[in-house]
């Protein structure tokens, strides 16, 4: 059955063409309809064997199926956080999704360390994201995951890659991001321009990851459409892939994929553009290979071990998801919070001035902090971690139980059950962070002005245990460098917000619906 669906998925618009001809003949139409019904019944019965009935009528499931929760909450993640807060064990079973949700640090440690082998990504999760992520590191288990992780971890830990990353980030800040903000800032007597800060940071992060991971400047790619079209396609593929996971009956999206209709057709078109982008990245990397034999970038290292373009495509897409979307999400949330907490911006400027002895280039533009300077900026580090506590770039992460288990809070878990730890909800738990858990307070991370980390199982933003994020340190360096440069030189004011509670768009990473429009003003000290 799976082979049949994969074969149908690869047929593109041909599926609809064949269906149209089939319906032209009554006998063929009956046969076609019977085949579809048989497929639907088979997938439905298979789904029912793996989890409780989708028609569960408990209060939580009824609220989910009828969307009545939207009367009180703007975001599904906020409703889930509400449900988890009121449960003593911080665990809720959403039967219609076959999903056990948890915000219990002991359970997170159980999943990521104590019983790691029992909680892989699992085949159901991999099937949902297979069209988009393929065999990339975020969608595999076992030997494939271990191979990619070992190779990437070894490279990311090397001094050469760290130095290369620092130089790329500094160049992108000095030559692209800062000039862009400068041109958009309101000068004396000039007209203020609105920027979508989320889009700005996505472009910045995309340029950085292309250079760091692929050794390519995006401007050098020979593409059939503007880069914005490929960025939009990436966002669409992320959103629609995530939507699959929220469907009570997976048979629905599988049938739509087979028939190439609705949002599954839109997803296929978007993935087609993502495939084109990845193919061009691989082509250019091969073209430049002989000219850059040193191979500082990550893709060159993988190409030395892999001779399978489809596999390389999956690795490229995984790099883009990790390096573009998560970094952009965190930076956008940071400046959204900063606009409501100007005293935090002042504290950052004080620390930057103290550590960098003034913090400005000779042309009076914001200086780009060195890696050594960034390590000494404990308040900046604390503010970034505090931001990601409230707005983690990946709001939740799911595993599938390989065998029966009992969670530390006593919740029984059947084989095949999806178990999800909810980082977004955990950041809002009084039981974890105290009565001021809803406040943005960087000081909670400081002891005697030094940054002190929390257990990764209380703060699973970078996962923990065996699957801890291998790009964590480089991502933090990139984000801190951007924060320091922007906060020194500019005031960022959000525009048109009716509430401090943002609304999220569906996606594999946290995305602010409608973007984040802002006005940018150069700080007085930075004016020439």
Where is the binding site for heme, in residues?
469
* Count of helix runs (H) and strand runs (E) in the chain: 23, 13
CB 85 within 8 A of CB 428: yes
DSSP annotation string for 462-477 = G--GGG--TTHHHHHH
Q: What's the length of the chain?
A: 528
Rounded CA Rg of the chain:
24
Cα–Cα nearest to 365, from 217, 525, 509, 246: 525
* CA atoms of 309 and 375, how far apart (whole Å): 38
Buried b (16+ CB within 10 A) or exposed e, 501-522: ebebbebbbbbbeebbbbbbbb
Q: Hey, what are 227's tokens? A: 């880069």
Assess contact for 517 and 194: CB atoms under 8 A. yes
Distances (CA, A) of 251 to 61, 210, 244, 258, 377: 18, 37, 10, 10, 51
Question: 197-214 vs 472-489: helix axis angle to the nearest 10?
Answer: 140
CA–CA separation, 318 and 129 (whole Å): 11
Backbone angles phi, psi at 49, to 5 degrees: -70, -25
List, as residue ranges, the binding site. Answer: 469
Dihedral angle sign, alpha carbons of residues 414, 130, 105, 455: positive
Question: Token pair of 460, please?
Answer: 């699973």
Strands lying side by side in the sheet with 99-102: 91-94, 99-102, 418-422, 396-400
């Amino acid at each position: 059955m799976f082979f049949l669906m994969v074969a149908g998925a690869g047929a593109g618009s041909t599926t609809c063409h064949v269906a149209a001809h089939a319906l032209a003949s009554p006998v063929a139409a009956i046969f076609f309809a019977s085949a579809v019904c048989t497929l639907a019944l088979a997938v439905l019965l298979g789904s029912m064997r793996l989890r409780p009935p989708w028609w569960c009528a408990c209060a939580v499931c009824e609220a989910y199926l009828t969307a009545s929760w939207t009367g009180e909450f703007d975001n599904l993640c906020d409703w889930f956080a509400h449900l988890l807060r009121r449960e003593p064990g911080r665990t809720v079973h959403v039967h219609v999704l076959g999903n056990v949700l948890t915000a219990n640090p002991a359970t997170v440690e159980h999943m990521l360390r104590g019983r790691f082998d029992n909680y892989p990504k699992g085949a159901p999760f991999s099937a949902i994201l297979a069209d988009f992520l393929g065999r990339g590191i975020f969608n595999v288990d076992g030997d494939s995951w271990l191979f990619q992780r070992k190779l990437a971890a070894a490279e990311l830990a090397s001094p050469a890659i760290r130095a290369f990353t620092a130089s790329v980030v500094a160049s992108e800040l000095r030559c692209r991001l800062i000039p862009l903000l400068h041109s958009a800032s309101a000068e004396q007597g000039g007209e203020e321009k609105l920027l979508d800060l989320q889009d700005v940071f996505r472009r910045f992060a995309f340029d950085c990851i292309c250079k760091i991971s692929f050794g390519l400047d995006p401007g050098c790619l020979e593409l059939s459409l503007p880069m914005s079209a490929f960025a939009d396609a990436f966002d669409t593929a992320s959103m629609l892939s995530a939507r699959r996971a929220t469907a009570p009956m997976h048979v629905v999206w599988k049938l739509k994929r087979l028939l190439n209709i609705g949002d599954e057709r839109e997803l296929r078109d978007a993935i087609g553009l993502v495939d084109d982008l990845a193919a061009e990245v691989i082509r250019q990397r091969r073209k430049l290979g002989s000219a850059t034999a040193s191979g500082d970038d990550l893709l060159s290292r993988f190409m030395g071990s892999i001779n399978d373009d489809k596999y390389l495509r999956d690795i490229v897409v995984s790099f883009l998801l990790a390096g573009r979307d998560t970094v952009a999400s965190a930076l956008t949330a940071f400046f959204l919070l900063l606009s409501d907490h100007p005293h935090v911006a002042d504290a950052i400027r004080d620390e930057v001035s103290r550590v960098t002895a003034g913090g400005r280039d000779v042309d009076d533009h914001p200086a780009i902090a060195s890696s050594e300077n960034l390590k000494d900026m404990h308040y900046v580090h604390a503010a970034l971690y505090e931001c990601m506590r409230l707005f983690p770039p990946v709001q939740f992460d799911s595993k599938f139980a390989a065998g029966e288990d009992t969670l530390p809070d006593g919740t029984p878990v059947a084989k095949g059950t999806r178990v999800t730890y909810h980082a977004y909800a955990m950041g809002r738990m009084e039981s974890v962070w105290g009565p001021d858990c809803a406040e943005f307070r960087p000081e909670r991370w400081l002891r005697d002005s030094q940054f002190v980390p929390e257990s990764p199982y209380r703060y699973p933003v970078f996962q923990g245990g065996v699957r801890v994020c291998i790009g964590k340190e480089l991502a933090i360096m990139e984000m801190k460098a951007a924060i320091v440069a922007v906060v020194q030189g500019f005031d960022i004011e959000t525009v048109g917000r009716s509430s401090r509670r943002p609304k999220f768009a569906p996606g594999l990473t946290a995305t602010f619906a409608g973007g984040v429009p802002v006005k940018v003003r150069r700080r007085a000290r930075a004016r020439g």
